[in-house]
Structure 1
């Protein structure tokens, strides 16, 4: 239940239009999302903060349809100015994840494919230099 202060903040804060769309967390592969969340929090804070990371996980796990506006407001104290950008990215990935039968955001699948492609090229070059690639 939102307090009076929370309700005022929800009314007075401008949120992106994506936040109007609901995400069903049962359709999202949370383990994949947890990896992205942890990596992104470390990137923002420049330190691994398990308290913040676990807090985000718990907000996503406690409700079937989490409210991205409340998530953003709850994270502002930790992520400060980065909270809106983080929450918008997170929400867009969750929207993508729920639309994919595997529950994984297409953006993360494409990034992984690109990473593997680059690794293959890198290995091909090095094995070629070593004379190990036909």
Structure 2
């Protein structure tokens, strides 16, 4: 009861002739994203490290976004979510994305609050 999987990526922009070539294409795409993350982590451009947005450096935001892109794409292609019905895809993909964004929001604002409390001197740094 096997059925053929779709052999294109990026919503049909790149099409492959076999599953093996598609696996190599996805591997190259994920390797490029990982290489970008590693190079940015080594170089640490000044404008990304010195600029903050919502209490965190832009470089950290970029790492989080690229990691979510990789996780989404792994689930999309290797877990064959592209072949499932729309409601199941949305349930599986959007729920964790929402929860990760909510967790990041909570962590950033709570960490900022705790930092401000320690900075103002109400409690000593006694770790």
TM-score grouping bracket, smaller chain normalisation: 0.3 to 0.5
Larger radius of gyration: 2
TM-score normalized with structure 1 length: 0.33
For normalisation by structure 2, the TM-score amounts to: 0.35
